[in-house]
Structure 1
Amino acid sequence: MSAGDVAGEAGSVDPNGSGSDLRIDERVGAVLAEHAAWNEEHRRLSEPSLSALRDSGALRLLVPGRVGGDELTFADMVANVREAALCDGAAAWVLMVLVGHSWMIGSMSEDLQDEVYGADLDAIVPGSLAPVGSATECDGGWLVDGRWPFTSGAIWGDWFLLGSQVLEPGERPRLIHVVMPRADIGVDDNWYAIGLRGTGSCDVVAEQAFVPTHRMLDSGELLGARSPWSARHRTSLYHTPVLPGLSVHVAATALGLARAGLDDAADRFGVQDDRYMGTAKANRPGLHMRLAEANTEVRAAELLIADTVELLRQAAEGNDSKALRAHAKYQGTYAIELCRRALDQVANAAGGRALFDGSRLQQAFRDVTMASQHQVADLDTVGEAYGRTRLGMDPGAHPL
């Protein structure tokens, strides 16, 4: 029985909720798996991989319905990103980022939504949310300069969602997010990393790029789900708090990677011999215990993600609070950590050959390691915030 079989035992709770719209089917998955090695080698997503994601309709999952998108649910996002990660972590990560940004654009002006998606519902919107750019107000908008790292899928971008700050003498910086067309963006091909190598998460740069007012939103309104545009949709999706929501996006990728890695480990352990003992590796009691614990960690991550999706639904429908956000963000982050621990467990027991290049276990291990470095996966800081709320205290300065 594979790791995936254990994690999905009959009678267990469906972590995706009922009626998930699965776009990443067997056919799409086969294309993603076929091009995974090319993506790794060339440090970006291949055209066939991107076309498979586009043709599946997965890029439209959280695009607002008012512009013709599907405006589905976080459960649908989790299901599709997880399935993609079973086949290729890089493709899943890029899908996760693009779906996440289309969801965030639903909180920006309707003029911007129409501009981005009016001509192409599958518009590619990479970005970097950290406020590392600088913006100066001018007539009709802003002049923006900056270099933004970790812009996954940058080479394919049609539009870019980027964080910036407005520096005003004697005052704290005002944080804003802007959306810029590809014509205003340069890509620095500097993505060399231990994992998620095929995501093309390069730096992007802009110099004195003009951003009209309708392509900007204050970061507090965007990240805090307080935008006046959020309420102008047929569902409450765009009232979901962004930072806890993004932790679930990353967790969905980690979940699929962990499942893929554990399945590969179980297959390997079933046929490998212990060369020094002269017995089958599958007979090792210690190995049995590692697999049991790793599979339980992944199953716990599934259930935590499902529960977090429900918390976020409650927040979007009006039951929002700092305590709920801290709770949701911690659970999403802890799910990522559980997936990382699970792969660490089996990688340490798999033997040297299982960690050679070309091993699905090795690649999943590297990809989850890299995913766990995302800012939303900072377990210490979000743990402090959640722990404070459990004591009836304010969560502190950690962004929620």
Structure 2
Amino acid sequence: MVLATGVPTREELVRRAAAAAPALRERAEWTEQNRRLPEETIEALAEAGVFKLRVPVRYGGYEADTRTLVDVAAELARGDGATAWVASVYWIPTWMTCLFPDEVQDEVFATPDVRICGTLSPSATATRADGGIVVNGRWGFVSGALHSQWQEIIAVQVDAEGGPMPVMALVPMSDLTIVDDWHTAGLRGTGSVSTVADNLFVPAARVLPLGAVLQQQSASRRNADAAIYRPPLLPVASASSVGSVVGLAQAAFDIFTERLPGRKITYTGYDAQAEAPVTHLQVADAVQRIEEARHHAHRLTDLVDGKANDAGEWSLEERARARAALGAACRRAREAVRILADASGGSSVYDSVPMQRVLRDVQSVNLHALMNPDTNAELYGRVLCGLEPNTLYL
């Protein structure tokens, strides 16, 4: 089903993602071994409309809400966690691009199915120059960089009035150097390489103060009334990325139940693992944790989408709650995968059994600075106790 505007419904977008998942799973081992997404996967994501979800309708995009992002990413992750992660990462800087002046958006979105990678880390410096800034530095963990046309960067402008000032900018990938340093235990297929800027000039139109972005100030006139571009950056980033862990947990359940028929528990009297009470307890426990992960993910999207539609002010507690919900979903998903991996037996350590990859991927997601359950829970508790947050990323 497609709406009258030509924008597919959430149900249709989720159906497309689910239809793409089996092929993603078939390519998952190649993806991990080669530490990047294959071109066939990029083409499949484009065909499913994945790169259009956060693009303004005027450029042929869908302006999808975050509930759609979660449900689409969850289906993609059932096929391959690395693919879902890259898709989720693209959605965040694509949304951030929509805060730039309209003429900048015209330039970026002129490319069909444009892919914009990015970072929230201020690991570069910038100095003022005539008509813009000059940037020097390096960014790591840039998921999807190998398939992107643009990168959103963060740098600290060291000659700004009033002291150092973080800025956000957009640069073509052709202006950056890619360093292939992505040799990891998990999420190998994301190709999250490093990028380097060497005396890179960025025009002023493609530069925004990060502080203004964090305070929901946009330079776009034509997006001013669009609900999806109203919420703060960090709740948006949280809701954009949480679907991958929900899908990884569901993938673990899929893999476990596919292997269950005919499996025994070695060195016991059980000829069928499915008949053992311990299996019943493990499966029930894991499924309940998957359901809890999905609950927290949808609770997060309800908050972000609800506030966006109401154009309501965000309280400090709500901002912290968004990150707490992200962390809770990550924690529950990781717990579910661990239970099912532990129940999968020694044979599951072979490369040919996807369970070991799902386990490594979900663990890697939980180590991400934005996703880390303990960090997010501490931040939420801090705010609930009446203290000021000890981070700008809220």
Per the normalisation by structure 1, the TM-score is 0.90
Equivalent of 1:145, from 119, 136, 149?
136
SS of structure 2 residue aligned to 1:375: coil
1:24–1:150 distance in 2 versus 1, CA, 3 Å: farther
Bigger Cα displacement from structure 2, 219-228 vs 327-336: 219-228
Q: Would you say how many aligned residue pairs link Structure 1 and Structure 2?
A: 383
- 1:57-87 per-residue CA deviation (whole Å, 9 max, x = no partner) reads 1100111223332112111111211111111
Q: Using the alignment, how far apart are the partners of 1:131 and 1:271 within structure 2?
A: 52
Give yes or no for the alignment of 1:342 onto 2:336: yes
Gaps of 5+ in 2: 1-8
* Correspondences of 1:313-324 after superposition (within 5 Å): 313-316=305-308, 317-324=311-318
Q: Using the alignment, how far apart are the partners of 2:232 and 2:262 within structure 1?
A: 46
On the 8 A contact 1:90/1:198 being kept in 2, the answer is yes
Shift of residue 231 of structure 1?
7.3
Shift of residue 304 of structure 1?
1.3
Shift of residue 135 of structure 1?
0.7
Shift of residue 388 of structure 1?
2.9
Equivalent of 1:30, from 22, 31, 41?
22
Q: Using the alignment, how far apart are the partners of 2:19 and 2:12 within structure 1?
A: 18
SS of structure 1 residue aligned to 2:13: coil
SS of structure 2 residue aligned to 1:129: coil
On the 8 A contact 2:53/2:69 being kept in 1, the answer is yes
SS of structure 2 residue aligned to 1:203: strand
Q: Using the alignment, how far apart are the partners of 1:290 and 1:186 within structure 2?
A: 47
Shift of residue 398 of structure 1?
5.5
SS of structure 1 residue aligned to 2:389: coil
Partner of residue 5, structure 2:
none
Q: Using the alignment, how far apart are the partners of 2:72 and 2:104 within structure 1?
A: 26
SS of structure 2 residue aligned to 1:144: strand
Q: Using the alignment, how far apart are the partners of 2:216 and 2:239 within structure 1?
A: 16
* Correspondences of 1:75-224 after superposition (within 5 Å): 75-118=67-110, 120-168=111-159, 172-224=163-215
On the 8 A contact 1:184/1:206 being kept in 2, the answer is yes
Partner of residue 33, structure 2:
41
Q: Using the alignment, how far apart are the partners of 1:224 and 1:20 within structure 2?
A: 34
On the 8 A contact 1:175/1:220 being kept in 2, the answer is yes
Q: Using the alignment, how far apart are the partners of 1:369 and 1:230 within structure 2?
A: 41
Bigger Cα displacement from structure 2, 226-235 vs 130-139: 226-235
- 1:129-179 per-residue CA deviation (whole Å, 9 max, x = no partner) reads 201011111110010111110111111121111111112499652111111
1:162–1:398 distance in 2 versus 1, CA, 3 Å: closer
Gaps of 5+ in 1: 1-16
Partner of residue 312, structure 1:
304
Give yes or no for the alignment of 1:327 onto 2:318: no
Give yes or no for the alignment of 1:372 onto 2:366: yes
- 1:36-55 per-residue CA deviation (whole Å, 9 max, x = no partner) reads 12111110010101111112
Q: Which amino acid aligns with 2:27?
A: H
1:24–1:222 distance in 2 versus 1, CA, 3 Å: farther
- 1:171-213 per-residue CA deviation (whole Å, 9 max, x = no partner) reads 6521111110122111111111111111110001110111001
- Percent of aligned pairs sharing the same letter: 33
Shift of residue 392 of structure 1?
4.1
Shift of residue 234 of structure 1?
4.5
Q: Which amino acid aligns with 2:277?
A: P
Partner of residue 382, structure 2:
388
Bigger Cα displacement from structure 2, 159-168 vs 199-208: 159-168
Instruction: Write out the 4+ residue segments of structure 1 that deviate beyond 3 Å after TM superposition.
Output: 17-21, 23-27, 168-172, 391-398
Q: Using the alignment, how far apart are the partners of 2:221 and 2:387 within structure 1?
A: 29
Bigger Cα displacement from structure 2, 241-250 vs 157-166: 241-250
Per the normalisation by structure 2, the TM-score is 0.91
- 1:208-252 per-residue CA deviation (whole Å, 9 max, x = no partner) reads 111001111111222332224277344211112221222222320
Q: Using the alignment, how far apart are the partners of 2:258 and 2:299 within structure 1?
A: 30
On the 8 A contact 1:36/1:88 being kept in 2, the answer is yes
Q: Which amino acid aligns with 1:267?
A: E
Q: Which amino acid aligns with 2:152?
A: L
Q: Using the alignment, how far apart are the partners of 2:258 and 2:190 within structure 1?
A: 27
On the 8 A contact 1:162/1:179 being kept in 2, the answer is yes
Shift of residue 351 of structure 1?
1.2
